[in-house]
């Protein structure tokens, strides 16, 4: 048995090596993402591991079948950039990592909101400038706010527990309600109902065609004036230009974005001393009340180890038994 993993970061390497030693299975690692050209490197492998937010090569699963690959295992949750129908047609099993650390992402989303509520970005800048005045940047307390959680899977439920710990009122919306939460009466019946009630909207949902640009000019107009928007899910959920307009006119008091709809060429790349030609992204970076981070909400030691180990264990299970607990097709 032999695997190859693409888009492997330096921080993942120790876990790949440790798993390889523990299991006695060869795992070759490639720093570059999986591309059309790299599909020619797959001969002799039983499984391929990927991790990328951008697109995978067209007809990738056709090529995997040609090379007798049994499994394609991704080291993340989202499968919206994979052609699962093509995988099925080519009899390639696909696995993911459905929960590498829900707490990591939930904690990060709350941390970012707290920075917005207490204006820490503004105060850091003012202190550097030796302006130590307080006004007009008075903060808000979480216990006085209603938090609307969109998506109540593992991450959303972890976030709900944290927000409740601060004393906030929590409401939620999910197309597939969690039975336990449903019994508590936490759910509202629609996005619009959540938009109308929430002081904070935090998103923990997958990207689907139906929810593309869920946050846009029309939906923002239905929200409370001065709402805070937190997105640690998928960039495609927000129309960024509409959000910028709403931040500038005060309809949105602040936003924390750990993901961006055109992030694939930006995040986890070094852009120092280079011109970023994405004017919308540049405009985001100029706003004191918008916190942009490069898709790092998940990024803890526990999460990185889990992503590597679960993906490899799933690939091994498919090769040995034809199935895995994390099989998605």
What is the CATH classification number for the domain harbouring 11? 3.40.50.720
The pLDDT tens digits of the residues spanning 195-227 come to 999 999 999 998 899 999 999 999 999 999 999
Looking at the structure, tell me whether residues 263 and 233 fall in a common domain.
yes
pLDDT at residue 41, as a whole number? 87
| 211 found inside a domain | yes
Mean pLDDT to the nearest integer, 234-263 = 98
Looking at the structure, tell me whether residues 245 and 173 fall in a common domain.
yes
Looking at the structure, tell me whether residues 46 and 134 fall in a common domain.
no
325 labelled catalytic:
no
Task: Choose, from 124, 295, 301, 325, the residue flagged as catalytic.
Answer: 295
Task: Indicate whether 106 pLDDT > 90.
Answer: yes
- Name the residue with tokens 């619009």: 192
234 labelled catalytic:
yes
Please name which of 179, 177, 175, 244 lies closest in space to residue 210, comparing C-alpha atoms.
175
Mean pLDDT to the nearest integer, 78-91 = 92
Looking at the structure, tell me whether residues 239 and 180 fall in a common domain.
yes
Looking at the structure, tell me whether residues 65 and 132 fall in a common domain.
no
Looking at the structure, tell me whether residues 109 and 183 fall in a common domain.
yes
Strands 200-203 and 227-231: parallel
Split into its structural domains, the chain has a count of 2
Mean pLDDT to the nearest integer, 239-257 = 99
Task: Indicate whether 194 pLDDT > 80.
Answer: yes
| 327 found inside a domain | no
Mean pLDDT to the nearest integer, 136-156 = 98
Domain residues for 16?
Answer: 2-100+301-321
Looking at the structure, tell me whether residues 131 and 92 fall in a common domain.
no
295 labelled catalytic:
yes
| 329 found inside a domain | no
Looking at the structure, tell me whether residues 166 and 84 fall in a common domain.
no
Q: How many CB atoms lie within 10 A of CB 302?
A: 12
3-class secondary structure for the chain? CEEEECCCCCCCHHHHHHHHHHHCCEEEECCCCCCCHHHHHCCCCCEEEECCCCCCCCCHHHHHHHCCCCEEEECCCCCCCCCHHHHHHCCCEEECCCCCCHHHHHHHHHHHHHHHHCCHHHHHHHHHCCCCCCCCCCCCCHHHCEEEEECCCHHHHHHHHHHHHCCCEEEEECCCCCHHHHHHCCECCCHHHHHHHCCEEEECCCCCHHHCCCECHHHHHCCCCCEEEEECCCHHHECHHHHHHHHHCCCEEEEEECCCCCCCCCCCCCCCCCCCCCHHHHHHHCCCCEEECCCCCCCCHHHHHHHHHHHHHHHHHHHHHCCCCCECC
| 309 found inside a domain | yes
Cα-trace Rg, the chain: 21
State the pLDDT confidence band at 264, using cuts at 50, 70 and 90: confident
Task: Choose, from 75, 157, 204, 234, the residue flagged as catalytic.
Answer: 234
| Contact status, residue 201 vs residue 230, Cβ threshold 8 Å | yes
| 33 found inside a domain | yes
User: CA 278 → CA 41, 223, 260, 294, 306, distances in Å?
Assistant: 33, 28, 12, 15, 34
Looking at the structure, tell me whether residues 166 and 245 fall in a common domain.
yes
Task: Indicate whether 78 pLDDT > 90.
Answer: no
Strands 146-150 and 93-95: unpaired
State the pLDDT confidence band at 87, using cuts at 50, 70 and 90: very high
What rounded mean pLDDT belongs to the chain? 96
Task: Choose, from 12, 157, 204, 263, the residue flagged as catalytic.
Answer: 263
- The C-alpha atoms of residue 178 and residue 187 are separated, in whole angstroms, by 9
Looking at the structure, tell me whether residues 73 and 57 fall in a common domain.
yes
Task: Indicate whether 25 pLDDT > 90.
Answer: yes
| 326 found inside a domain | no
| 19 found inside a domain | yes
| 305 found inside a domain | yes
Looking at the structure, tell me whether residues 120 and 158 fall in a common domain.
yes
Looking at the structure, tell me whether residues 71 and 147 fall in a common domain.
no
The pLDDT tens digits of the residues spanning 40-56 come to 889 999 999 999 877 89
pLDDT at residue 120, as a whole number? 96
């Amino acid at each position: 048995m032999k695997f190859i993993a693409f888009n492997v970061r330096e921080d993942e390497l120790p876990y790949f090596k440790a798993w390889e030693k523990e299991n006695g299975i060869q795992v070759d690692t490639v720093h570059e993402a999986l591309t059309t050209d790299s599909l020619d490197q797959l001969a002799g492998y039983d499984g391929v591991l990927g991790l990328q937010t951008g697109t995978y090569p067209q007809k990738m699963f056709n090529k995997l079948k040609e090379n007798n690959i049994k499994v394609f295992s991704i080291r993340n949750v989202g499968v919206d950039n994979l052609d699962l129908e093509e995988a099925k047609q080519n009899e390639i099993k696909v696995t993911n990592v459905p929960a590498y650390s829900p707490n990591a992402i939930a904690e990060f989303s709350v941390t970012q909101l707290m920075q917005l509520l207490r204006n820490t970005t503004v105060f850091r800048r003012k202190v550097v400038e030796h302006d130590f005045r307080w006004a007009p940047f008075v903060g808000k307390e979480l216990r006085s706010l209603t938090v609307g959680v969109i998506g109540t899977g593992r991450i959303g439920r972890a976030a709900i527990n944290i927000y409740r710990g601060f004393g906030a009122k929590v409401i939620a919306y999910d197309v597939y309600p969690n039975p336990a939460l449903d019994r508590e009466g936490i759910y509202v019946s629609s996005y619009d109902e959540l938009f109308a009630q929430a002081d904070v909207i935090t998103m923990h949902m997958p990207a689907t065609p139906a929810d593309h640009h869920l946050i846009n000019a029309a939906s923002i107009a239905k929200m409370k004036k001065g709402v805070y928007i937190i997105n640690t899910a998928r960039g495609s959920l927000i129309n960024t230009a509409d959000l910028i307009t709403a931040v500038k006119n005060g309809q949105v008091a602040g936003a924390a974005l750990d993901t961006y709809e055109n992030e694939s060429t930006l995040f986890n790349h070094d852009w120092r001393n280079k011109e970023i030609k994405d004017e919308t992204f540049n405009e985001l970076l100029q706003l004191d009340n918008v916190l942009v981070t490069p898709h790092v909400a998940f990024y803890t030691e526990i999460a990185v180890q889990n992503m590597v180990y679960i993906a490899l264990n799933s690939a091994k299970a498919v090769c040995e038994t034809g199935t895995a607990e994390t099989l998605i097709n």
